[in-house]
Chains A and B, each alone.
Chain A
Amino acid sequence: MNGIPYFPGCSLKDTASGFEESAFFVMEALGLPLVELDRWNCCGTVYSLTADDLMHHVASVRNFVRVREMGADEVVALCAMCYNTLARVARRIDGDPDARDKINAFMNQEDDYEGGVAVIHLLDILRERIGSDAIADATARPLDGLVVAPYYGCTLVRPKEVSVDDSERPTVMADLFEATGAAAVAFPFATECCGTYQVVDRPELSLERSYRVLRSAAGTGAHVVATACPLCQHNLEQAQREFGGGEGHIGELTIAYFTEILAAALGAEPERLPEGLRSLLETHVTIEGGA
């Protein structure tokens, strides 16, 4: 296979299509294209913590079966929530043969899953298989002058067993942005929760949490907050709409997927980028040979 098997997840086919499109662009530009699984289903959204609740792991296991059907043994996720769910189920099933047998017995009349599929986040691929040097080399539009605040939220870095980086002080996103010439700033709320699904039942709770994240990011002087999760992105945008003009000028922040920022650096046409990022490129990025 020329590329890496890729699990999109439902949101990337719907509300977060910009996340996927920019990731396709980035990986194509870096010579390691994402190859969408021939068949896939919802990851199961949220890893069930109840020890005997195997039913809610079936969705992830079924996706691993699809990975195997393509003759592969690894799969890349973009959405932080999908990544977290798939990676934790993979760990559970690989380390618990009884649970695997039960799930296989339930899925009877179908192919068994024998374990062993590795779930990897795109950030990990960019760091380990592409590397900052290659990203610097491929940068067609250096982002000098742009200040990015990488926001990780919870599911990329917790629990530790599936964290894409140091759980307390992750730098994987910052390293990638710096390779493009941008400045990356750490901020205290970079790994705080955005409020996740509370947005459905108790929106005031997720609004408050997301507001704190934005205020903290705005305090660093960042132009753009980078996200890796459609739900984080949604909650931060909601909070910005609600409290846009308030303390810390959170209304001036652009909120974009990390892949959109990388796509900008790797030369994506401006019309393929979200509006906020497009205008930032015009106002803050020093155009080579220009003003």
Chain B
Amino acid sequence: MENGKMTQIYIMGKAYDVPTGITIMDAMEYAGYRFTRGAGCRSGFCGACGTVYRKDGEYRLEFALACQEMVEEGMHLTQLPFTPAPRPSYVLDELDPRENVLLQYFPEIARCVSCNTCTKACPQDIEVMDYIQAALRGDLEKTAELSFDCIQCGLCAMRCPADIKHYHVGQMARRLYGVSASPEPEHLKVRMAELREHKYEAALDELVAMDLDGLKARYAERQIEAASEEGS
């Protein structure tokens, strides 16, 4: 925040003066809005705060995460609390990834005309259209790889003229690829075995029984990098 300076923005058409250099989300809260939904980690990772805005004098609508994008003079804002896109339910273990499963669950991907509107809406700079095209030709690996940085904000689906639910397609591809093609990590096997043997239950019980001050002390002492413990 730049000391003392103010920026005028419009929230759903109404003018507000907010401190210069704050994010869209902070600006809306400064103006009195309170988010019970459509806000999450506030760090650009969770994808809950996808938003649409327009810059002063521009005709084009722009898309961003409200917790990441800074307000500018004359910006027109609103907030999109949720993308109501349907998501089919599936049981990963029952699917055969050799079939073109993505096309079966999301037949609308065949309507893609490669307009690239999804890609332009993505606040994560993902090549969204390219991964939908990969999904269309049954390339699970490429779909999973290209969509890896997706945070499920849903802006792609909000913009698509073919009603494709890109972010759900990418998520399914990553899950399928994870269970079918990527090797099971060794450390995960070890940790799963430990959990089955209830190795951490006593430690967990100890935490549950602790009072608030004890918990706070523990939290302050915690090791942040697990790697240091293993000396690697």
Contact = CB atoms under 8 A, between A and B. Distances in A.
Interface of A: 10-11, 13-14, 39-42, 44, 55-56, 58-59, 62, 106-107, 109-110
Contact of B136 (A10, A39, A109): A10
B97 interface: no
A44 B115 CA distance: 11
A58 B115 CA distance: 7
Given A13-B137, A14-B137, A109-B120, A42 B112 contact: yes
Q: Which of B100, B137, B139 has the most CB of A within 10 A?
A: B137
Interface-centre pick from A10, A13, A106, A107 (highest chain B CB count, 10 A): A10
B113 A58 contact: yes
A55 B116 contact: no
Contact of B130 (A14, A41, A56): A41
Interface string B128-153: 01100100111100000000000000
Contacts of B129: 41
Question: Which of B112, B113, B115 counts the most chain A CB atoms within 10 A?
Answer: B113
Given A39-B130, A41-B129, A13 B139 contact: yes
A62 B119 CA distance: 14
Contact of B113 (A39, A56, A109): A56
B115 A13 contact: no
Contact of B114 (A11, A13, A41, A109): A41
Interface residues of B, number: 14
A44 B139 contact: no
16 contacts: A13-B137, A41-B114, A41-B130, A41-B133, A42-B112, A42-B114, A44-B113, A44-B114, A55-B115, A56-B113, A58-B113, A59-B113, A62-B116, A106-B115, A109-B120, A110-B116
Interface of B: 100, 112-116, 120, 129-130, 133, 136-139
A211 B116 CA distance: 40
A106 B60 CA distance: 12
Query: What 10 A-B pairs come out closest when comparing CB atoms?
Result: A59-B114, A10-B137, A13-B137, A41-B133, A41-B114, A14-B138, A62-B114, A14-B137, A10-B136, A58-B114
Question: Dominant SS at the A interface?
Answer: loop
A38 to B, nearest CB: 11
A77 to B, nearest CB: 15
Nearest to A11: B137
B115 to A, nearest CB: 6
Contacts of A107: 116
Nearest to A40: B133
Q: Which of B100, B130, B133 has the largest number of chain A CB atoms within 10 A?
A: B133
A40 B134 CA distance: 9
Contacts of A42: 112, 114, 133, 136-137
Given A41-B129, A109-B120, A13 B138 contact: yes
Contacts of A39: 130
Contacts of B137: 10-11, 13-14, 42
Q: Give the one of B112, B114, B120, B130 with max A CB within 10 A.
A: B114
A55 B139 CA distance: 25
A14 B138 CA distance: 6
A175 to B, nearest CB: 32
Contacts of B116: 62, 107, 110
Contacts of A56: 113
B158 to A, nearest CB: 18
Contacts of A58: 113-115
Nearest to A108: B60
A107 B130 CA distance: 15
A58 B161 CA distance: 14
B160 to A, nearest CB: 13
Contacts of B120: 109
Nearest to A106: B115
A109 B138 CA distance: 29
A56 B114 CA distance: 9
